């Protein structure tokens, strides 16, 4: 056992932390939140130059990381600074799926992804799928060398900025549950393709998403990623990777929330003394620190098993996401409460950080979803 980061990861963490501390302060971030694009193209390309996108890919894929711990290191820092740029969507999901399933020709796109010049989005969830990864109803009809897609995709994060969508669709079988896992394919769909309609909107915790309508979108079969109907294992693996990233992001954000709270407790005075001298708040603050240690361990457990077999991997991921869902709510709510009114204001750092923490609970399964997964996988 060794709980130290490797030298490379330590460097990655230091570089990223320094960069974000310099370049991503509350004001800059709040301007990005207010902007039409919902992300900063400059920040994106600078971070790609620093190798942040590359760190999400293995050496074989053209990167220099790609393991669970690489994701965890990067996303903890992104979370700490409340970064809203879609690294999860372009790199881990879109890029990760191309890397896992793509042909050599398709994999050539990864150079541009890693270089920061190509944006991707994973158009998978549908209006009624909630967190069920197998609930895919978008249809495919094959006509010789072409396929035609029809369907609707819900809350597709980064869809508007994306050059290409990675769209899931059903070749065979019925949607939903374990039975629905078979028969799902993925396609690379340019967002400017005829029949692709986006209805874009901002999200509460920053960034943008869109409802995507696919109306007789006709593509060459070469747009398919991997073998027909066999995409599910790769989707599940990337969902696990996304969960590791979200868990680490929540950890970083919680660290910021607790740090801000501690600082505030020692500076804010009421009744002639720092509010941090009231025992009622001291105990709550201590509980947050205790939770934070649990969260860090849960992230380590999940990240360390991302490369394990699917069942072990998913069991640890479910454990981490459930724990972090619970702890995240406590940290976000108590941090706001201990600040009082000031934390309710849009421009204060904690407001955004609290939203980042809570809203991770709405991607790739919430606290209850992961509890059920944990129970089911424990019994299996």
Question: Of the candidates 270, 272, 309, 380, which one interacts with ligand FAD according to CB under 6 A?
Answer: 270
CA dihedral for 72, 74, 80, 85, sign (positive or negative): negative
Q: Which is nearer to other proteins, 63 or 125 (CB)?
A: 125
Ranges within 33-92 binding other proteins (CB under 8 A): none
According to the binding rule CB under 8 A, does residue 215 interact with other proteins?
no
Question: For residues 232 and 114, what is the distance between their CA atoms, to the nearest angstrom?
Answer: 24
**Chosen from other proteins, ligand FAD, none, partner binding at 125 (C-beta under 5 to 8 Å by type):** other proteins
Q: Give CA separation, 110 vs 95, 102, 231, 289, in Å.
A: 6, 10, 19, 40
Provide the strand spans (E) within 77-183.
Answer: 120-123, 139-143, 146-157, 164-170
Judged by DSSP in three states, 291 sits in helix
Contact 308, 241 (CB under 8 A): no
Ranges within 308-337 binding ligand FAD (CB under 6 A): 337
Question: For residues 246 and 72, what is the distance between their CA atoms, to the nearest angstrom?
Answer: 9
User: Least distance (Å) from ligand FAD to the CB of residue 295?
Assistant: 22
Question: For residues 253 and 218, what is the distance between their CA atoms, to the nearest angstrom?
Answer: 42
According to the binding rule CB under 6 A, does residue 351 interact with ligand FAD?
no
According to the binding rule CB under 6 A, does residue 272 interact with ligand FAD?
no
Burial class (CB in 10 A: 0-12, 13-18, 19+), 112: middle
* Cα 100 → chain centroid: 18
Ranges within 277-316 binding other proteins (CB under 8 A): 278, 280-281
Site string for other proteins, 123-162 (x = CB under 8 A): --x-xx-xxx---------------------xx-x-----
According to the binding rule CB under 6 A, does residue 257 interact with ligand FAD?
no
Q: Which is nearer to ligand FAD, 313 or 339 (CB)?
A: 339
Name the residue among 284, 285, 369, 353 with its Cα closest to residue 320.
369
Question: Of the candidates 21, 204, 266, 290, which one interacts with other proteins according to CB under 8 A?
Answer: 204
Question: Of the candidates 280, 309, 379, 380, which one interacts with ligand FAD according to CB under 6 A?
Answer: 280
According to the binding rule CB under 8 A, does residue 346 interact with other proteins?
yes
**Chosen from ligand FAD, other proteins, none, partner binding at 228 (C-beta under 5 to 8 Å by type):** none
In the numeric block, the tokens 């029809």 are attached to 150
Question: For residues 94 and 99, what is the distance between their CA atoms, to the nearest angstrom?
Answer: 9
| Phi then psi dihedrals of residue 242, to 5 deg | -60, -40
**Footprint on this chain of other proteins (rule: CB under 8 A):** 125, 127-128, 130-132, 154-155, 157, 176-177, 199, 201-205, 209, 211, 269-272, 275, 278, 280-281, 329, 333, 336-337, 340-341, 343-347, 351-352, 354-355, 358-359, 361-363, 366-369, 371-372
């Amino acid at each position: 056992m060794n709980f130290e980061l490797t030298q490379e990861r330590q460097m990655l963490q230091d570089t990223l932390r320094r960069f974000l501390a310099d370049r991503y302060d509350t004001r800059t971030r709040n301007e990005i939140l207010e902007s039409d694009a919902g992300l900063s193209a400059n920040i994106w390309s600078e971070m790609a130059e620093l190798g942040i996108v590359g760190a999400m890919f293995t050496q074989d894929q053209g990167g220099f990381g790609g393991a669970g711990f690489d994701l965890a290191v990067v996303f903890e820092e992104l979370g700490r600074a409340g970064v809203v740029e879609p690294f999860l969507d372009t790199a881990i999901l879109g890029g990760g799926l191309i890397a896992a399933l793509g042909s050599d020709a398709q994999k050539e796109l990864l150079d541009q992804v890693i270089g920061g010049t190509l944006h991707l989005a994973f158009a998978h969830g549908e209006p009624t799928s909630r967190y069920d990864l197998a609930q895919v109803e978008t249809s495919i009809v094959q006509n010789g060398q072409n396929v035609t897609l029809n369907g609707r995709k819900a809350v597709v994060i980064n869809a508007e900025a994306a050059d290409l969508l990675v769209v899931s669709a059903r070749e065979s079988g019925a949607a939903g549950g374990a039975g629905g896992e078979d028969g799902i394919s993925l396609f690379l769909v340019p967002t400017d393709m005829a029949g692709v309609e986006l209805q874009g909107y901002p999200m509460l915790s920053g960034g943008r998403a869109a409802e995507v309508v696919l109306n007789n979108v006709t593509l060459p079969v070469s747009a398919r990623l991997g073998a027909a109907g066999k995409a599910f294992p790769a989707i599940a693996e990337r969902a696990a990777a996304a969960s590791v990233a979200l868990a680490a992001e929540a950890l970083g954000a919680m660290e910021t929330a607790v740090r801000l709270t501690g600082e505030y407790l020692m500076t804010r005075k009421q009744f002639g003394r720092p509010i941090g001298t009231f025992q009622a708040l001291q105990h709550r603050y201590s509980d947050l620190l205790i939770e934070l240690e649990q969260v860090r361990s849960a992230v380590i457990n999940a990240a360390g098993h991302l490369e394990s077999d699917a069942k072990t991997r998913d069991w640890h991921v479910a454990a981490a996401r459930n724990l972090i869902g619970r702890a995240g709510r406590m940290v976000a709510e108590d941090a706001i409460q201990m600040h009082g009114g000031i934390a309710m204001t849009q421009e204060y750092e904690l407001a955004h950080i609290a939203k980042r923490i809570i809203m991770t609970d709405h991607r790739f399964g919430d606290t209850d979803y992961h509890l059920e997964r944990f129970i089911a996988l424990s019994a299996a």
